[in-house]
Structure 1
């Protein structure tokens, strides 16, 4: 019996919805990151020392990452128990509402200490939302994929990250061209308020996607479990630990080359805010174009082999990046950052499909969300803080930052090697093995 036209369109529709939904969520996340680097220190954490204000601002950025594992557990449970689609609709609503509220939040001079407190609370809501979003988006795309195409289709959820970055940079590039006083008074709020429109678009698109067919089969066969997260710890603890480490460079690298690089170049090299935002915009386009190519290539040569090569290249990439960035010229900065970003983004594009095939369907949402979000809390949340601290301690020297980046990529490489070895040792358990 032939599949209905609607059923045959669902893989493409699911991949498109994963892309659009994650693009919106990451837009919301990135505009906060950009504002944290540019204005939050001044508006919500005023201090006589810009370093102290920047560190306090990045601390609120880190709070969102620490909330992400909680979101992964909560929505992983809901996604494994009641369905991927319902969980994803909820995360999108939470993120959109919290982001708009940030845009309406009064500054420290208006309401005092209440302002940073509310900012932190809204950041926690954002963190919980994005903590539940990633796993569901990856699974909706990957579990709708035709046989043998999980890696490529799941990569569309990863493609939302550079797309969200591009949108956020466009938004902030527009408002940073305003006079400084206008930018500080209200201009920075406009990208946050625009999220209301994106939220409506995202909800409209996701309504048209069916529930994951793999989850539906598990539910109909009554193979779902009462407490998925407990099952994950009982049967797959070692796999979770390795997947946490494997995700490191894909997460930390983004915030190193984007969030931290904004403050590093403006404060340590002396380039203008508009110049670094222009450079990051060009690099984000390069990332957006390179990720689908990486996913396609990984399907040809094998996911594990590709991830090892990408992680090794990422270990080498920060040295030419910093050499070129130090010049302060537009072209050199674009080329330098792009070298690191292409290596990191190639890894990031493929890792989602790889880890989603490691775990059985009945606990997959919980397991991959926990793995990714715990890594996000540690590697993503602390990377801008660690980078800022190293830049402050080793003023005028970039090599400690490059070594730090190499170590991040090395963690991912070692964990991929271990996962691949474990895969071969567990060849008699197909359900637990990475999808090819």
Structure 2
């Protein structure tokens, strides 16, 4: 049987290898990154900040460190976008995984506030910055491993597997935290919470092995040295300014809304008396289901176009802004799990499953890594990075989820405006290619 017969319809020979590598590598890297988000809601506020403050204030302080990590992501996007566009996607991705894995493992060794005072939150935030730099270079490279090696007809579906790795990373981090928090609280707070972070050493070894053995992206190797830019970041800003702004706008609801529904929702649930084990399980279940919905919506975008699917997700997220918190308030396990399934699996899933192919088609190959990283990570700062902090501040000020729901709707409106302009933002040649893709799908 020929090699071609082993591939899926619409694939180039060997693309399955890139799909697996991107999926596994992203899962391991984002496991590390999401650990901080979960620990911020459950542990860090109590252990790394003064014990004589309101627990909600401690959680806010931990989420402030969460935001700092996001603020570092554009720097990582610039650094590794440059490396990815100049030296190759593979080299950049091995470096991001190494930095992320080491930083996460070191978090598991940190002393607490009771032991070293202000050094505890200071060291925690420094390591979070390192995580942010690594994450800033990860997403674009993980996406391009697949999108630059897949055919036009199946780019949406195949590229969505990279996002599936993110969902699996979240599931893995939530599941490990769920298991260790079953320990007696005294043991969990004393040392049990460190286990998920220390496991990062093992995951780093697995991920690095996979990426070292990976061939370079086909589209990158096809770009001649004469077309490469000495400073790809500046070239991307000069040649694709509108597209970068459009991509940033598309990120606002997807990224900001997801961190409210994933990270802040845990703190909110604990605040209103919902068992934290139920909340962590609900997140894990919704993200596990999301793996399938990402692929489905990526496939749907191949059939009917990127914009309609993305709009469906954004509108759905706005519609869930108020019901989501009401369902958590019910403190009924089935209802709480359903809230996460709808908000994360369907609404968020429609946007994030479509996003890799959507962004790929906005930019040309010689600056694609840098352009995608700039747009993705700059938006992450003010959308996802500050969302849990702003939501917690609103809850602290008003004692209600009502203003948080309004905030979610505001994020959605920004993304819908970006969608209106996205048609004009896509380069003509890429837009025509995308339209031919839909027309050629049987």
TM-score range, shorter chain: over 0.9
Which structure 2 residue ranges, 5 or more long, are not aligned? 438-442
Match of 2:173 among 160, 168, 171: 168
Match of 1:325 among 325, 328, 331: 328
Give CA deviations for 1:154-208 in whole Å, capped at 9, x if unaligned.
1111111211111011100111111111111110000001111111111122223
Residue matched to 2:130: 125
* Distance in 1 separating the partners of 2:431 and 2:291: 32
**Match of 1:30, SS?**
helix
Which structure 1 residue ranges, 5 or more long, are not aligned? none
Residue matched to 2:270: 266
Q: Could you tell me how far 1:115 is from its partner in structure 2? A: 1.7
Residue matched to 2:440: none
**Match of 1:317, SS?**
helix
* Distance in 1 separating the partners of 2:322 and 2:290: 19
Match of 1:71 among 57, 72, 76: 76
Distance 1:409 1:433, change over 3 A: farther
Residue matched to 1:184: 189
Give CA deviations for 1:333-367 in whole Å, capped at 9, x if unaligned.
11122221111121111112101110111100000
Equivalence map 1:11-410=2 (5 Å) = 11-48=15-52, 49-219=54-224, 222-267=226-271, 269-341=272-344, 342-395=346-399, 397-410=400-413
* Distance in 2 separating the partners of 1:199 and 1:9: 28
Q: How many residue pairs were aligned? A: 429
Distance 1:163 1:186, change over 3 A: same
Q: Could you tell me how far 1:147 is from its partner in structure 2? A: 3.4
Note if contact 1:359-1:433 (Cα within 8 Å) is conserved in structure 2: no
After superposing on structure 2, the runs of 4+ consecutive aligned residues of structure 1 that deviate more than 3 Å are 2-9, 429-436
> Structure 1 length normalisation: TM-score?
0.94
Distance 1:325 1:431, change over 3 A: closer
* Distance in 2 separating the partners of 1:418 and 1:159: 27
Distance 1:332 1:430, change over 3 A: closer
Note if contact 1:356-1:434 (Cα within 8 Å) is conserved in structure 2: no
Query: Alpha carbon RMSD of aligned pairs, Å?
Result: 1.9
* Distance in 2 separating the partners of 1:136 and 1:207: 14
Asked whether 1:414 is paired with 2:414, we answer: no
* Distance in 2 separating the partners of 1:171 and 1:16: 23
Q: Could you tell me how far 1:289 is from its partner in structure 2? A: 2.1
Q: Could you tell me how far 1:279 is from its partner in structure 2? A: 1.7
Note if contact 1:308-1:417 (Cα within 8 Å) is conserved in structure 2: no
Q: Could you tell me how far 1:111 is from its partner in structure 2? A: 2.0
* Distance in 2 separating the partners of 1:384 and 1:250: 14
Q: Could you tell me how far 1:3 is from its partner in structure 2? A: 7.4
Q: Could you tell me how far 1:47 is from its partner in structure 2? A: 3.8
Note if contact 1:315-1:409 (Cα within 8 Å) is conserved in structure 2: yes
* Distance in 2 separating the partners of 1:110 and 1:412: 45
Q: Could you tell me how far 1:9 is from its partner in structure 2? A: 4.7
Note if contact 1:11-1:146 (Cα within 8 Å) is conserved in structure 2: no
* Distance in 2 separating the partners of 1:315 and 1:50: 29
* Distance in 1 separating the partners of 2:83 and 2:22: 18
* Distance in 2 separating the partners of 1:44 and 1:187: 15
Give CA deviations for 1:28-52 in whole Å, capped at 9, x if unaligned.
1111111111111111112422122
* Distance in 1 separating the partners of 2:157 and 2:138: 19
* Distance in 2 separating the partners of 1:368 and 1:422: 14
